[in-house]
Amino acid sequence: MGRTLAIGDIHGGLKALKQVLERAKATPEDHIIFLGDYVDGWSESAQVIDFLMEFQQKYNCTLIRGNHDELARQWLENDDLNPKWLKHGGRSSIHSYSNYSEKQREEHINFFKSLENYHVDTKNRLYVHAGFQNQNGVNFEWNPLTFYWDRTLWELVVAMDTSIKKNDVRYPKRLTHYHEIFIGHTPVTRINEENPTQRATVWNIDTGAAFKGPISIIDVDTKEFWQSDPVFTLYPDENGRNEV
């Protein structure tokens, strides 16, 4: 049987994505779970989507929806030029689609619509881009936006008193439903980490690819991980989201 691999945020860094998949020696026997945010940042957002559409035809993939993916879909489908999206990487995505036909754009819209909000595997591990807020778990979440916009889950585990045990009434009920939770969305560099980082039962695999960090892949069973070169070094004439 193959491995289960989780991949953090990509943000248009196709060169780095190919590099880290090669370093992890990903095979069609592996279950590869992409945690979202495929676009917005480096210059190859549309090309990342092309790559993923072809990749999922040959590999066992689960593709999770990120907030940037949803914002890009809204632009492609409705010409929604959200000012905050434009400021946070949207312009690079728009430029990457400059030579794409209407047919190609429609194929990408369908790809974005096909993304999953979350995935729970057979070992009761949850994969979600951002988080969830309902104390009873993802199946009870009222607003699907939470799955790709929430930051409270990560903030919760970063600030937790590690002396609180799971059988303590103060232990966050959100954390009791899943063996482990794998997320992206909030770069671990914000807490001065560089690698996939665990807090409580949550593993954050976003190692800041949109800024100065690499794309990361983790084997969710062994916790071995692989990283690309820092993505900005592969796009030396670009700023990514470092202007934000």
pLDDT in tens, 20-61: 999 999 999 999 999 999 999 999 999 999 999 999 999 999
Q: Where are the domains of the chain?
A: 4-234
Backbone angles phi, psi at 188, to 5 degrees: -70, -15
Size (the chain), residues: 244
Top CATH class of 4-234 equals alpha beta
Helical residues (DSSP H) of the chain, grouped into ranges: 14-23, 45-58, 67-78, 83-85, 91-96, 102-114, 145-149, 152-159, 231-234
* Cα–Cα–Cα angle for 197, 156, 86, rounded to 5 degrees: 75
- What is the average pLDDT value for the chain, to the nearest integer? 97
Task: Return the pLDDT at 211.
Answer: 97
Task: Return the pLDDT at 1.
Answer: 79
Task: Return the pLDDT at 243.
Answer: 76
Percent of the chain at pLDDT > 70 equals 100
Nearest CA to 216 out of 15, 20, 4 is that of: 20
Task: Return the pLDDT at 244.
Answer: 59
Nearest CA to 179 out of 116, 118, 120, 219 is that of: 120
Task: Return the pLDDT at 183.
Answer: 98
pLDDT digits (tens, 9 = 90+) for 111-126: 999 999 999 999 999 9
Residue 195 above 70 pLDDT?
yes
Number of H helices, E strands in the chain: 9, 10
Cα–Cα dist 125/117, whole Å: 14
Query: Average of pLDDT values for 121-140?
Result: 97
Query: Average of pLDDT values for 221-236?
Result: 98
